[in-house]
Chains A and B, each alone.
Chain A
């Protein structure tokens, strides 16, 4: 006998598998999908309406509904408490699936324990496990990939991290499988091709090449990044902001290590930094910590991002150890200055030149002396 409530957390593939199993197990069914546009009253009505055609109802809740009197800031616990009450009186013909809502409220889970089943699927897995996962998938699809290529593939999906997001992995492995069509063997060119149009891939690949001080690849990636964009300046400014954040974190960590602090202590300090956002306009304008979906403060750095700078990618130096402290200061100084310069008004060609110069600075091809020379000639900064 099926439970009345399913709580599915974790990766998409396994959640979909369970939902499909539920659907397959029922002959006559009517499926409702609720998202954040649905009010709680609507969802409640759907759950408590008697079915018209003796069918079973599957109600898939992809986002918690809002409360009618409190649309903008419906409290998650308040909504779950309301759910608790109606789930207890709903009929056995109605199956409610909380899909990917990361529900961990103990009181909610305890109260509906006898009518519910909880599935907690992993969100990320270690790369070593993922290799086995890829192998199984490819075997099932009669495809073949060299183990060394798998490492490259996984590094593209999750650079500078020993974990890989399962959803991302599934997306890309399916994309790769579709891309090669009937061909059996997967080549490095295939991997390059499926990632090449992804902006994330280009940016992360650029970062990897900057960390490896590979100026040739870096400039090629800048070229790739800017080809086909509507406007160069916003793209470059976004990348510079991201680089500033990254090098600030590396400098902060590097400084911590010089002061003999351990990794956990450094992370403790870094993890307290919030993202900020502007609100209002004119005199009412203010700056405050940016809020995430759950109402908490959005953090500047994630633990995965932080751990990535310690990760020894492709047997070369980890990003943290690829730069001297002086070099990091130079990079940050340069990035801050060109950001001001670009924002004060530059042509597209100037913006592009300046960013390529940035790559030269990061890769160590231009040092402080050259920078001063550039400054003396009033070229850009």
Chain B
């Protein structure tokens, strides 16, 4: 095995595979934190597997500008991914490196990298005996879509923060992606707070079937997935789902031009078990009011300021009061702990508002804080609810992207509390 390659381009090409190999790895999984490289005449095929996410990537002169790849002798090697990346980081980016095997060094030989003037500098990485195991890739799929990569990535990123993290409530440890003919709903939630990002458009999505198709993405695979998508230059991605095939495990396949990501260990029963969040988002709430988002920024900071270190020591949950006065068209955030806060915010009654009775309820300040952290800093948000013991829905102003020909609607809802 012997090849030459430009360091910077090689290092950049390996970033996605490296991320998969080290992010959210399954404990004691043999293939985790390893990278296997198949050195071929025209390309390097790189694989990594974290235990629940596997990646197969083809690196070649055709798909990587300035890679300068030249295969002298074909071969297969496996190394610790951290060793490989830290070694490449230690070599000046502009250097061309020569990579070859030294079979007599260490237990299973080593990978030698020489560079610099007359190749006088060198680094070695010990080779590993067992290569990365890649599960059988399914050949037939029940569901299949093609979607614009950037839209998918950006929409997914906005809802990622809300995915549940309690292993005792596993269904919420998934992100839901519901694909309709001209619309995709991205949904995450913890059971007490949910976020929905709806993307509408005619051109960003291609489907084989009409009607709703639901894809689910396990929490631990999302960081790797987003990282790979972020680093990719492809315009579109294919997402395919395969359940119950004879020779291959249940999987979700995300296919880019030269990269395949395989998500594994998925409990597909979540697709049907997941709560019907749309029943809340689509509900016609009797209370409906408009607030400019800027108005909330400082009052919410004031509320969170009361959750100081002393308060955190004795209280893990920080519930605050919301009092709505429809006569004065104002509502108050009130926190009463060691530090106190009472902040008044003006609102405008929405033209669809049906009730004007004053109402108050309590809610977790962590959810309230998120209202101003969704990346929207202008426009009116709509706050709607049915009663003091039902969830509160927040709708953000619709965003239109004329370049991508899409409309984006973001909403969230959170539960209220008795105390």
Indicate which residue in A48, A52, A89 contacts B280 across the interface (CB closer than 8 Å): A52
Indicate which residue in A41, A52, A68 contacts B191 across the interface (CB closer than 8 Å): A52
- Judged by a CB distance under 8 angstroms, whether B305 is at the interface is no
The reply to whether A52 and B192 form a contact with Cβ atoms under 8 Å apart is yes
Indicate which residue in B314, B364, B417 contacts A68 across the interface (CB closer than 8 Å): B314
Tally of A interface residues using CB under 8 Å: 24
- Judged by a CB distance under 8 angstroms, whether A178 is at the interface is no
Tell me the bound Cα distance from A33 to B279 in angstroms: 25
Tell me the bound Cα distance from A41 to B317 in angstroms: 6
When distances are taken between beta carbons in the complex, the residues of chain A under 8 Å from B328 are none
Chain A residue at minimum C-beta to C-beta distance from B167: A33
- Judged by a CB distance under 8 angstroms, whether B124 is at the interface is no
Q: Do A48 and B275 form a contact, CB below 8 Å, given A32-B168, A39-B316, A53-B280?
A: no
Chain A 78-121, CB within 8 Å of chain B: the 1/0 string? Answer: 00000000100111000000000000000000000000000000
Tell me the bound Cα distance from A48 to B361 in angstroms: 12
When distances are taken between beta carbons in the complex, the residues of chain A under 8 Å from B316 are 39, 41-42, 68
The reply to whether B317 and A52 form a contact with Cβ atoms under 8 Å apart is no
21 cross-chain CB contacts under 8 A: A31-B169, A33-B169, A35-B168, A39-B316, A41-B316, A42-B316, A45-B192, A45-B364, A48-B417, A48-B419, A49-B417, A50-B418, A52-B194, A52-B413, A52-B415, A53-B279, A68-B314, A68-B315, A68-B316, A69-B313, A69-B314
Chain A residue at minimum C-beta to C-beta distance from B388: A50
User: Interface on B for A, CB 8 Å cutoff?
Assistant: 168-169, 191-192, 194, 275-276, 279-280, 313-317, 319, 364, 389-391, 413, 415-419
Chain A residue at minimum C-beta to C-beta distance from B361: A50
The reply to whether A90 and B315 form a contact with Cβ atoms under 8 Å apart is no
Chain A residue at minimum C-beta to C-beta distance from B362: A48
Interface hub of A50, A52, A55, A69 (most chain B Cβ within 10 A) = A52
- Beyond A48-B417, A48-B418, 5 additional contacts (C-beta under 8 Å) are A44-B317, A52-B194, A52-B275, A53-B280, A69-B314
Interface residues of A in 48-65 (CB under 8 A from B): 48-53, 55
Closest CB pairs A-B (n = 6): A41-B316, A33-B168, A48-B418, A50-B389, A45-B317, A41-B317
The reply to whether B192 and A91 form a contact with Cβ atoms under 8 Å apart is no
The reply to whether B168 and A45 form a contact with Cβ atoms under 8 Å apart is no
- Judged by a CB distance under 8 angstroms, whether A30 is at the interface is yes
Number of contacts between A and B (CB, 8 Å)? 63
User: Interface on A for B, CB 8 Å cutoff?
Assistant: 30-35, 39, 41-42, 44-45, 48-53, 55, 68-69, 86, 89-91
Tell me the bound Cα distance from A31 to B167 in angstroms: 12
When distances are taken between beta carbons in the complex, the residues of chain A under 8 Å from B364 are 45
Indicate which residue in B313, B317, B413, B418 contacts A91 across the interface (CB closer than 8 Å): B418
Chain A residue at minimum C-beta to C-beta distance from B313: A69
When distances are taken between beta carbons in the complex, the residues of chain A under 8 Å from B315 are 41, 68
Tell me the bound Cα distance from A49 to B367 in angstroms: 13
Chain A residue at minimum C-beta to C-beta distance from B194: A52
Chain A residue at minimum C-beta to C-beta distance from B387: A50
The reply to whether A49 and B169 form a contact with Cβ atoms under 8 Å apart is no
The reply to whether B418 and A68 form a contact with Cβ atoms under 8 Å apart is no
The reply to whether A32 and B280 form a contact with Cβ atoms under 8 Å apart is no
Q: Do A45 and B417 form a contact, CB below 8 Å, given A52-B192, A68-B316?
A: yes
The minimal Cβ–Cβ distance linking B380 to chain A, given in whole angstroms, is 24
The reply to whether B313 and A89 form a contact with Cβ atoms under 8 Å apart is no
Interface hub of A44, A55, A91 (most chain B Cβ within 10 A) = A44
Tell me the bound Cα distance from A42 to B194 in angstroms: 18
When distances are taken between beta carbons in the complex, the residues of chain A under 8 Å from B390 are 50
When distances are taken between beta carbons in the complex, the residues of chain A under 8 Å from B280 are 52-53
When distances are taken between beta carbons in the complex, the residues of chain B under 8 Å from A42 are 316-317
The minimal Cβ–Cβ distance linking A118 to chain B, given in whole angstroms, is 24
Indicate which residue in A35, A50, A53, A91 contacts B416 across the interface (CB closer than 8 Å): A50
Interface hub of A32, A45, A48, A91 (most chain B Cβ within 10 A) = A45
The minimal Cβ–Cβ distance linking B308 to chain A, given in whole angstroms, is 14
Chain B residue at minimum C-beta to C-beta distance from A89: B418
The reply to whether A30 and B191 form a contact with Cβ atoms under 8 Å apart is yes
When distances are taken between beta carbons in the complex, the residues of chain B under 8 Å from A50 are 389-391, 415-418
The minimal Cβ–Cβ distance linking B354 to chain A, given in whole angstroms, is 20
Tell me the bound Cα distance from A44 to B417 in angstroms: 10
When distances are taken between beta carbons in the complex, the residues of chain A under 8 Å from B391 are 50, 52
Tell me the bound Cα distance from A55 to B168 in angstroms: 17
Tell me the bound Cα distance from A34 to B319 in angstroms: 20
When distances are taken between beta carbons in the complex, the residues of chain B under 8 Å from A35 are 168
Tell me the bound Cα distance from A48 to B313 in angstroms: 21
The minimal Cβ–Cβ distance linking A97 to chain B, given in whole angstroms, is 13
Chain B residue at minimum C-beta to C-beta distance from A31: B169
When distances are taken between beta carbons in the complex, the residues of chain A under 8 Å from B191 are 30, 52
Chain A residue at minimum C-beta to C-beta distance from B276: A53
Indicate which residue in B192, B276, B314, B413 contacts A49 across the interface (CB closer than 8 Å): B192
Interface hub of B169, B313, B418 (most chain A Cβ within 10 A) = B418
The minimal Cβ–Cβ distance linking A80 to chain B, given in whole angstroms, is 18
When distances are taken between beta carbons in the complex, the residues of chain B under 8 Å from A68 are 313-316
When distances are taken between beta carbons in the complex, the residues of chain B under 8 Å from A32 are 168-169
Chain B residue at minimum C-beta to C-beta distance from A86: B419
The minimal Cβ–Cβ distance linking A281 to chain B, given in whole angstroms, is 29
Chain A residue at minimum C-beta to C-beta distance from B318: A41
Interface hub of B169, B316, B389, B413 (most chain A Cβ within 10 A) = B316
Tell me the bound Cα distance from A48 to B168 in angstroms: 18
Chain B residue at minimum C-beta to C-beta distance from A46: B192
Tell me the bound Cα distance from A50 to B390 in angstroms: 7
Chain A residue at minimum C-beta to C-beta distance from B314: A69
The minimal Cβ–Cβ distance linking B391 to chain A, given in whole angstroms, is 5
Chain B residue at minimum C-beta to C-beta distance from A94: B418
When distances are taken between beta carbons in the complex, the residues of chain B under 8 Å from A39 are 316
Tell me the bound Cα distance from A48 to B417 in angstroms: 6
When distances are taken between beta carbons in the complex, the residues of chain B under 8 Å from A31 are 169
Tell me the bound Cα distance from A8 to B120 in angstroms: 73
When distances are taken between beta carbons in the complex, the residues of chain B under 8 Å from A44 are 317, 419
When distances are taken between beta carbons in the complex, the residues of chain B under 8 Å from A48 are 417-419
